[in-house]
Chains A and B, each alone.
Chain A
Amino acid sequence: MMESGKRKNGKRRWISTGSRVQGASHIRNGQPCQDALSIKRDKDYHVISVSDGHGSSQCPYSDEGAKAAVEVAYFVFDSIFKGRGDPFQNFVANKDIWIPKQIEQNWKSMVTLIHGTRPVPFSYELYGATLLTLVVANDFIFALQLGDGDILSIEPISTDGNQEDESQKKTQVDWVIPPDIRIGSETESLCQTDAWQYMKARIIPLGPEDTAPMFLLSTDGYANSFNSNEGFKQAGADFYNLWEEEGLSFIDDNLEGWLMESSAQGSGDDIAVALVKEAVVGN
């Protein structure tokens, strides 16, 4: 754990990584990977997005819809940072309506352009995809979610005096945006009319003394590879402990293999996973 006062110039620095793999069943059926992953790193903020193209017969171009989703998310959030005024205040003021509407509108414009002159009559449904985005900045975290998937926060449980219990390495794992109870496989999608209305957003300020948790974003192919929510949350805790003990390069070297294994032994679905953690000065 990083102690307060150790940040370079008082600025928080982030490290992020991720991978996406073609699902085991998609490989068998000759389907492309319909999940998209985007990690954009600026010196002051990272914008991390995953998207799950629906992949059904009604959505034959959903892999492109998913790519468009993660690109649009970066475009919208980056424009807020590059705009005038305090980004935190701009996110607070716009998180519920303007940002969701911008994402929907820009995604719909982009897939319309992508479709171009394809012979199939155009509909947004052809490109249907979810979107999960996490923006991590110096003084806040912003999360946005449309449809299935998970954004987890993972942090050590502090004992008295905020000392981490090294012998136990206990972690607290929470959903940043609590999941809906859902029956069946229908998910909310960017292709819906008024998709913005279904987006959920949360902003969490970070004070100078706060140490941010680690975050995990994943498309639903990952959580569905576990037998229970507890098993999935344990995977989040394991990532945290591996990062602490083995370092980022160990995760980078193995992540793709772990995800392929999860898909093969679990959901069979495509999986996109991203991890982001506050950097400790020196690493």
Chain B
Amino acid sequence: MTALKTGAKLQSQHKRVYTVIRFIASGGQGEVYEVEDKASRSRYALKWYFKHSATPYQKKLIDRLISRGKPDDRFLWPLDMIEQKGLFGYVMDLRPTDYKSVLDLMKRRAEPTFAALCMAGINLADGYQSLHSQGLCYRDISFGNLFFNPVNGDVLICDNDNVTVNQDSDGGTEGTPRFIAPEIISRKQYPSTLTDLYSMAVLLFYMFMLHHPLEGAIEANIKCLDGKAMEKIYGKEPIFIWDPANNSNRPIPGYQDNAIIFWDIYPPYIRDLFTRAFTVGLKDPNKRIVEKQWKEVISQLRDSIMYCSYCSSENFYDLLKVKQNQNHHCWQCKGVISLPPRIKIGNQLIMLNHNTELFSHHIKGGFDFSTKIGKISKHPTRPGRWGLTNTGSDNWTLTKQNGESTTVMSGKTAPLQTDAKINFGPVEGIIH
């Protein structure tokens, strides 16, 4: 039962003929199909609106978005429009099959490493920052419209058909329930970049905790989560499940386990950021966590990943534990974790694991995690000896503890020695 039948031919505004190949999925607004432009032998996705969503306003919005063009390649942006018998839809690039949704993550159909999850978080915040910096507002950030590659954390943002200029009050969607900012639910505000920041924080919480930040005891005790109940939990009386000043909405063991298990896995700085996002940030939109703050803290989280020597699970280094002389216990097998060597570059503390790579971001900032400048490598002949190999183009200067300095040219390796310093050019790192 689909609005468009397989094999149907549809002519677009750009005078292309698309053939419906197959139904992919449906949502609240419409259905998505795979279509083929036989002339170019290219396949695309077509979002076809249900009657109730195929409004003149929606069509005008898509026309504008097609004319405007995508903010960058991470956006599966409307490319072409098809109209037929009073209904319409838009054509966009197909999402590669190896990209998964946050719902896939929730349902464990995607199980990325924490490292890939962190990259997805950084890329997601960066993508929305790119959109916001152009004066645009997404309006409907939710787990149905972000896709990520579970291997490397690359993201694709789809369902861009609700994007408007910031604070547009002309109509359009208010968002997806559970992701809509409280001030929209209580009718005090229209969607804006500030309400996007709230929805983005919810999405990040879902990604890292596999749970909603406001679904605790209050939600667990509701037998029918109807419109009024949802308005209360997500809009009129929202209470963060880990609000340090209000324990009335703590998650219930046995029913909301993810919220409990994952919260304890992460180090305090990421928990603090989420706490700010869902306490002061709930009530005061101007105090919401902005994209750059998320990127900074998630980068820190990424750099703090270390491996349990017993079960190989990823764990997070916690400076507070080190300062208090506490051991790190693996969240999975509970074994005591041997801390790996670390390098401190400016304010960043990076675990030097067997697979650690350093990127341009680590020496120049800017969240560039694609330009590699170094990687950990094994000594070719001496087991147990590790070094940091210069994989960039600039030479480094290694200064050992005894003051002796040597140049580490591109392709060469600096041994990992305690208190040795490596000058990368813009910054210096100290090995611990």
**Given A153-B1, A207-B50, are A96 and B225 neighbors across the interface (CB < 8 Å)?**
no
A207 CB to nearest B CB, Å: 4
For B108, list chain A residues within 8 Å (CB): 194, 197
**In the complex, which of the residues B103, B228, B229 contacts A96, with contact meaning CB atoms closer than 8 Å?**
B103
A94 to B225, CA, bound (A): 8
B164 CB to nearest A CB, Å: 21
A52 to B64, CA, bound (A): 50
- Counting chain B residues whose Cβ lies within 8 A of the other chain, the interface size class is 20 to 34
B235 CB to nearest A CB, Å: 12
A258 to B229, CA, bound (A): 46
**In the complex, which of the residues B2, B176, B227 contacts A86, with contact meaning CB atoms closer than 8 Å?**
B227
A141 to B177, CA, bound (A): 20
- Counting chain A residues whose Cβ lies within 8 A of the other chain, the interface size class is 35 or more
Nearest residue (CB) in A for B231 is A85
**In the complex, which of the residues B26, B177, B228 contacts A202, with contact meaning CB atoms closer than 8 Å?**
B26
Tell me which of B50, B103, B108, B176 has the highest count of chain A C-beta atoms within 10 A of its own C-beta.
B50
**In the complex, which of the residues A79, A85, A141 contacts B223, with contact meaning CB atoms closer than 8 Å?**
A79
71-123 of chain A: CB within 8 A of chain B = 79-80, 82-86, 89-90, 92-94, 96-98, 101, 105
**In the complex, which of the residues A83, A141, A155, A209 contacts B226, with contact meaning CB atoms closer than 8 Å?**
A83
A194 to B257, CA, bound (A): 11
**Given A83-B227, A90-B225, A105-B255, are A204 and B1 neighbors across the interface (CB < 8 Å)?**
yes
For A80, list chain B residues within 8 Å (CB): 224, 226
- Are A155 and B1 closer than 8 Å at their CB atoms? yes
B142 CB to nearest A CB, Å: 10
Nearest residue (CB) in A for B211 is A97
For A198, list chain B residues within 8 Å (CB): 107
For B1, list chain A residues within 8 Å (CB): 141, 153, 155, 174, 176, 204, 213
- Are B28 and A92 closer than 8 Å at their CB atoms? yes
For B224, list chain A residues within 8 Å (CB): 79-80, 82-83
* B51 at interface by CB-CB < 8 Å: yes
**Given A93-B178, A207-B50, are A85 and B2 neighbors across the interface (CB < 8 Å)?**
no
For B51, list chain A residues within 8 Å (CB): 205, 207, 209-210
* A203 at interface by CB-CB < 8 Å: yes
A205 to B26, CA, bound (A): 10
A240 to B2, CA, bound (A): 17
- Are B50 and A205 closer than 8 Å at their CB atoms? yes
* A25 at interface by CB-CB < 8 Å: no
Tell me which of B1, B108, B109, B176 has the highest count of chain A C-beta atoms within 10 A of its own C-beta.
B1
Nearest residue (CB) in A for B177 is A93
* B218 at interface by CB-CB < 8 Å: no
A79 to B176, CA, bound (A): 22
For A194, list chain B residues within 8 Å (CB): 108
For A197, list chain B residues within 8 Å (CB): 106-109
- Are B229 and A205 closer than 8 Å at their CB atoms? no
A144 to B363, CA, bound (A): 51
For A83, list chain B residues within 8 Å (CB): 224-229
A84 to B225, CA, bound (A): 9
**Given A153-B1, A155-B1, are A85 and B227 neighbors across the interface (CB < 8 Å)?**
yes
- Are A90 and B107 closer than 8 Å at their CB atoms? no
- Are B5 and A172 closer than 8 Å at their CB atoms? yes
A204 to B53, CA, bound (A): 12
A84 CB to nearest B CB, Å: 4
* B131 at interface by CB-CB < 8 Å: no
**Given A92-B28, A155-B1, A204-B1, are A98 and B226 neighbors across the interface (CB < 8 Å)?**
no
* B230 at interface by CB-CB < 8 Å: yes
A90 to B226, CA, bound (A): 6
- Are A97 and B227 closer than 8 Å at their CB atoms? no
Nearest residue (CB) in B for A102 is B225
Nearest residue (CB) in A for B103 is A96
- Are A85 and B228 closer than 8 Å at their CB atoms? yes
**Given A93-B178, A153-B1, A198-B107, are A203 and B26 neighbors across the interface (CB < 8 Å)?**
yes
A105 to B223, CA, bound (A): 11
249-269 of chain A: CB within 8 A of chain B = none
* B52 at interface by CB-CB < 8 Å: yes
**Given A155-B1, A198-B107, A207-B50, are A85 and B226 neighbors across the interface (CB < 8 Å)?**
yes
- Are B106 and A97 closer than 8 Å at their CB atoms? yes
For B28, list chain A residues within 8 Å (CB): 92, 203, 205
126-144 of chain A: CB within 8 A of chain B = 141
A230 CB to nearest B CB, Å: 15
Nearest residue (CB) in B for A106 is B223
A277 CB to nearest B CB, Å: 13
- What are 15 A-B interface contacts by the 8 Å CB criterion? A79-B224, A83-B224, A83-B228, A85-B226, A85-B227, A90-B225, A93-B178, A93-B230, A96-B106, A172-B5, A197-B106, A205-B52, A207-B50, A207-B51, A207-B52
Other 18 A-B pairs with CB < 8 A, given A83-B228, A105-B255: A80-B226, A82-B224, A83-B225, A83-B229, A84-B227, A84-B228, A89-B177, A90-B230, A96-B106, A98-B225, A101-B255, A172-B5, A197-B106, A197-B108, A202-B26, A205-B28, A205-B50, A207-B50
